[in-house]
Amino acid sequence: MKAVRKLFFILLPALAMLFQSGCTDPNAILDQNTAIENHNWSYSNRIKYTVKIDDPAILYNLYINLRVTGDYRYSNIFVLIRRNGPKLKGVTRYEVKLANPDGEWLGQGSGNLYSYQVPFRTGFKFPEKGSYEFEIEQNMRDNPLHEVSDVGLRVEKAK
């Protein structure tokens, strides 16, 4: 019995690592989310990510990740995305549609949470090799903006 238990404790971590490595996306350069404290996203809480680009010759797709609760008051959200890095600087305002006019959520639902992964730049070419910083800020009238659970960024190699 001890041998079986010992084997179990050796195989379990190995299987977990195998399962995790098999589920990773080889095209993803970054796919991270940041939880918003108390689901209240204020202007001053800018979400920052650094992306290291090793191959500027290929194209990339950039996505904003959002998660809101079913109690979120609006059918959309406006965000400012600041870009900073080698030969790249700027701010762009984006609108993300979250619900249809009839109130039906467009995201993937799980309980009272709705998740969104929305492209904001596709076929994007970084100017050169290096580290790029992206900063996401909510740009709605409400401050803080209630019922926003998570905000994130995904950068992937375009297929």
The domains of the chain are located at 29-157
Tens digit of each residue's pLDDT (9 = 90 or more) over 102-142: 989 999 998 899 999 999 999 999 999 999 999 999 999 99
CA distance 154 to 136: 12
40, exposed or middle or buried, with CB in 10 Å at 0-12, 13-18, 19+?
A: middle
pLDDT score of 129: 96
CA distance 136 to 81: 5
Which of these CATH numbers, 2.60.120.260, 2.160.10.10, 3.40.190.10, 3.40.50.720, describes 29-157? 2.60.120.260
Higher pLDDT, 25 or 98: 98
Confidence of residue 14 (pLDDT cuts 50, 70, 90): very low
